[in-house]
Structure 1
Amino acid sequence: MTIPRVVMVLTSHDRFGDTGRPTGFWFEELAAPYYVLRDGGVDVALASPAGGKPPADPASLTPDTRTPDVDRFLADAEAAGRLATTERLDSLHVDDADAVFLVGGHGTMWDFPAQPQLATLVAAVAARGGAVGSVCHGAAGLLDVVIDGRPLIEGRALAAFSDAEEQLVGATDLVPFSLQRHLHARGARYTEGAPFQPHAVRDGQLVTGQNPASSRRTAVLLVEALRSPAATDTRP
């Protein structure tokens, strides 16, 4: 039996615009899905736009935000080695991926949109019926994905970090755009749960989660999608 391969993509961007405030990927949104996938017998590759070690948002490593999955990752020499040597997106062979998972963190708002290599990877996986997942701000990497002249997310139910959550973390005026509104503008059927509570949605082979607390559930749904036959188009 062939072992499925998932490419997890992380941001390479480490600042909120020109403010000097650090950001990057959110560690729980890497660690929880990583272990759901690895413990489920899935082969995981880590990639980023620039390759090498991507920046972790320091706010995701405080005592209040560290989870058991994060602690497990930090103590895992193999996982740390993978993170330190992520593959460059432009070096990936898109045919080698059965699924792609876009890890969140505010950094994605700068380098995931209009990233041609990322859009090509996601489109290639989706076009052949593979699973596509994202959590939190990772959905920024879905905005510019087009298949057969139509946005991938048009008419699809999905979740991502909400405007309400953006306001609660004080980032409304720091991010370059509203993710929620841009998803709406691409025709997505955006769904929203309570702020910072788990909320994940599966629409066929598209699996998305709203926030860090949704990371594990989103990955569980991604594994379900990997093990399911390619679904018919669920869009109206």
Structure 2
Amino acid sequence: MVMTSHQDLMNTDSKTGLWIGEFADPYYEFIDQGYEIVLASPLGGKPPIDPLSKLTENITASNRRFTEDEVAKKALSETRLLEEVEASEFDAVFFPGGHGPLFDLANSDICGQLILDFYKQKKPIAAVCHGPAALIKAVELEPAILKGKRVTGFSDAEEKLVFRENNIPFTVENRLVWLGGDYHNAVIPFSSHVEQDGLLITGQNPLSAVPAAKTLIELLEARTDS
């Protein structure tokens, strides 16, 4: 699981970072199915957490489980440097959201090369909410990663509803379309929505984190069975 190290927004003193539910929800889906998880980020160590994701209305059961899980908390506080991660070590990669990825993962050559390596090794790539921004540098290296693929991510409508459109460099929906993705989203904002196109799995928003993780698990299990 690759997370952002970025916390500053544009034109505001408000902070962003990792949306904690989009980490915790998939994390426990993977752990409960027996998968070993390695956490990484551009700067290593503990990623910044979006303060809004800690508000009561955004807390999930996995959030509460995480607060009592010393092993998971230690893992999150000691993420590996992204530059030390090799695709050959892993079966799949998962990118949680929060607005942070729009600033660092989207511009990271290291992240782009890592995704390209997963792509070349025919391994699943999954991302949720603003996590698909991590694809940008990889698509510059290999447009086929996204060109014509059914994808989703945090929608322009949702961005307007959270009042962040003037605090970010671009919107996920707009950039995915501009890069050649076949973008789709739920009719009702903040409803769960997941797209799978081959080995590429994307989720639209926080409510899509668990379904995206389950889709990835199903894909991995199917590959193991075959």
Measured against the shorter chain, the TM-score band is over 0.9
Does residue 100 of structure 2 align to residue 107 of structure 1? yes
Does residue 66 of structure 2 align to residue 73 of structure 1? yes
- Equivalent in the alignment of 2:51: 58
Cα offsets for 1:91-112 (capped at 9, x unmatched):
1123102111011001111001
RMSD: 1.5
Question: In proportion to residue count, which structure has more strand?
Answer: 1
The answer as to whether partners of 2:201 and 2:216 remain within 8 angstroms in 1 is yes
Alignment of 1:81-230 (within 5 A): 81-146=74-139, 149-193=142-186, 194-229=188-223
Runs of 5+ consecutive residues of structure 2 not aligned to the other structure: none
Give the total of aligned pairs: 223
Q: Aligned to 2:58, what secondary structure does the other structure show?
A: coil
The answer as to whether partners of 2:11 and 2:167 remain within 8 angstroms in 1 is no
Cα offsets for 1:56-79 (capped at 9, x unmatched):
001001111001011101110000
> Structure 1 residues 125, 147: closer, same or farther in 2, change over 3 A?
farther
TM-score (norm 2): 0.95
**How far apart are 1:125 and its partner, in Å?**
1.1
Q: Aligned to 1:207, what secondary structure does the other structure show?
A: strand
**How far apart are 1:171 and its partner, in Å?**
0.6
The answer as to whether partners of 1:204 and 1:225 remain within 8 angstroms in 2 is no
CA distance in 2, matches of 1:118, 1:36: 24
CA distance in 1, matches of 2:10, 2:159: 15
The answer as to whether partners of 1:48 and 1:87 remain within 8 angstroms in 2 is yes
For 1:130, the aligned partner's letter is K
Runs of 5+ consecutive residues of structure 1 not aligned to the other structure: 1-7, 231-236
**How far apart are 1:114 and its partner, in Å?**
2.2
CA distance in 2, matches of 1:50, 1:148: 23
> Structure 1 residues 147, 224: closer, same or farther in 2, change over 3 A?
farther
109-118 vs 141-150, which moves further: 141-150
Does residue 13 of structure 2 align to residue 15 of structure 1? no
For 2:183, the aligned partner's letter is Y
The answer as to whether partners of 2:29 and 2:213 remain within 8 angstroms in 1 is yes
Q: Aligned to 1:198, what secondary structure does the other structure show?
A: coil
The answer as to whether partners of 1:154 and 1:186 remain within 8 angstroms in 2 is yes
CA distance in 1, matches of 2:34, 2:97: 23
Q: Aligned to 1:221, what secondary structure does the other structure show?
A: helix
CA distance in 2, matches of 1:27, 1:45: 16
For 1:199, the aligned partner's letter is H
For 2:94, the aligned partner's letter is F
Cα offsets for 1:130-163 (capped at 9, x unmatched):
1100000000001221498434111110110000
**How far apart are 1:227 and its partner, in Å?**
2.1
CA distance in 1, matches of 2:82, 2:130: 18
**How far apart are 1:11 and its partner, in Å?**
0.4
TM-score (norm 1): 0.91
> In percent, how many aligned pairs have the same letter?
37
**How far apart are 1:82 and its partner, in Å?**
0.1
